[in-house]
C-alpha cells in the first residue's frame, strides 16, 4: 500500500484498509482484531451475525456483499457502511429502515464498470439517472462509488476499470446533491489493490492476501 501511494504521489493515510473477514470463523476474526485492524468487511448477513455480536463495538463494519432487501433491517445500524447499493428498491428499503432508526446510512453505489453479466452493479450509463432518483432520499447518504474489476492474471488490465470509476465519481459530484458527496472510491482487492490505489482508491477491500481464506490459518 505504501509503495503504491509513493508511486502515485498519495498519502498513506488517505487509503483505508478494510480486512475482509468473510472467509474466517469467529476465532480467526478475533485474531485479526487483536492485531489492531479497525475496519472489517463481511459479505453475508448470516455469517456476520455472530461476529457482530461478539465484536460489534471493536470494529467499523463494512457490508460488501450483495444485499437482499429483506436483510436490510439487520444491516442498517449494525454496519457503518454499505458498499453494495445497486438498485432503487434497495435504496427505498434502506431509506425506510434508516428513517425508523433515526440515523442516515452511509452507502456506496456499486457500479458494474466492466459490464460483465455475472456482476452486480449499476450500468454506468444509468448512474446519473439513478443518483437523481436518490436525491430525495434524505436517509441514504452516498459517500462513494464501489466496483469490482474482472479477475485476470494481467493486473494492468484492470486499470481502465478503476480509472473509469474515478471519472464517474467526478460526474456524480458535479451534480452537487447534498446527500450524495461520493468522496470515496471503494476499489481494489487482493489481486489488484496496488493499481486501485494508483487510480485513486480511498478504501481497499482485502481478504485473501491479508488475512487468508480461513482454510490454513
Ligand X SMILES: *Cc1c(COP(=O)(O)O)cnc(C)c1O
What span, in angstroms and rounded, lies between the C-alpha atoms of 78 and 73? 9
- Residues 102-161 touching ligand X, rule: CB under 6 A, are 148
Instruction: Find out whether 141 and 178 touch, Cβ atoms under 8 Å.
Output: no
28 makes contact with ligand X (CB under 6 A) = no
Indicate left, alpha or beta for 63 from its phi (over 0: left) and psi (-120 to 50: alpha).
beta
Rounded to the nearest whole angstrom, what is the least distance from the CB of residue 52 to ligand X in the complex?
17
205 makes contact with ligand X (CB under 6 A) = yes
The cell numbers describing 148, all together, are 469490482
Rounded to the nearest whole angstrom, what is the least distance from the CB of residue 178 to ligand X in the complex?
28
Q: Is the CB of 28 or the CB of 190 nearer to ligand X? A: 190
64 makes contact with ligand X (CB under 6 A) = yes
Instruction: Figure out which of the listed residues 15, 22, 37, 98 binds ligand X, where binding follows CB under 6 A.
Output: 22
- CA-to-CA dists, residue 135 to 23, 90, 125, 181, 213, angstroms: 35, 14, 18, 11, 38
Rounded to the nearest whole angstrom, what is the least distance from the CB of residue 135 to ligand X in the complex?
26
Instruction: Figure out which of the listed residues 21, 29, 43, 169 binds ligand X, where binding follows CB under 6 A.
Output: 43
With a CB cutoff of 8 Å and minimum separation 6, the contacts of 126 are none
With a CB cutoff of 8 Å and minimum separation 6, the contacts of 86 are 66, 109, 110, 120, 121, 122
Task: Considering only the stretches 24-32, 93-101, 120-128, 199-207, report the one whose residues sit in contact with ligand X under the rule CB under 6 A.
Answer: 199-207
Instruction: Figure out which of the listed residues 48, 52, 187, 189 binds ligand X, where binding follows CB under 6 A.
Output: 189
Query: Contact positions toward ligand X, by CB under 6 A?
Result: 20, 22, 43, 64-65, 148, 189-190, 205-209
Amino acid at each position: 500500500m505504501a509503495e503504491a501511494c509513493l508511486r502515485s504521489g498519495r498519502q498513506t493515510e488517505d487509503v483505508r484498509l478494510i480486512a475482509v473477514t468473510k472467509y474466517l470463523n469467529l476465532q480467526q476474526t478475533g485474531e485479526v482484531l487483536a492485531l489492531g485492524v479497525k475496519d472489517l468487511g463481511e459479505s453475508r448477513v448470516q455469517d456476520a451475525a455472530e461476529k457482530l455480536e461478539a465484536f460489534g463495538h471493536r470494529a467499523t463494519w463494512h457490508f460488501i456483499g450483495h444485499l437482499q432487501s429483506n436483510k436490510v433491517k439487520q444491516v442498517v445500524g449494525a454496519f457503518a457502511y454499505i458498499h453494495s447499493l445497486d438498485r432503487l428498491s434497495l435504496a427505498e428499503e434502506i431509506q425506510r429502515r434508516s428513517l425508523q432508526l433515526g440515523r442516515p446510512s452511509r452507502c456506496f453505489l456499486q457500479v458494474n464498470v466492466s459490464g460483465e453479466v455475472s456482476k452486480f452493479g449499476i450500468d454506468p450509463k444509468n448512474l446519473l439517472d439513478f443518483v437523481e432518483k436518490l436525491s430525495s432520499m434524505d436517509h441514504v447518504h452516498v459517500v462513494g462509488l464501489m466496483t469490482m474489476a474482472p479477475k485476470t492474471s494481467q493486473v494492468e488490465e484492470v486499470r481502465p476499470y478503476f480509472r473509469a470509476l474515478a471519472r464517474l465519481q467526478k460526474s456524480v459530484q458535479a451534480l452537487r446533491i447534498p446527500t450524495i458527496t461520493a468522496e470515496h472510491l471503494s476499489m481494489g482487492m487482493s489481486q489488484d489493490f496496488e493499481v486501485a490505489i494508483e487510480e485513486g482508491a480511498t478504501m481497499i477491500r482485502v481478504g485473501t492476501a491479508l488475512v487468508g481464506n480461513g482454510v490454513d490459518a
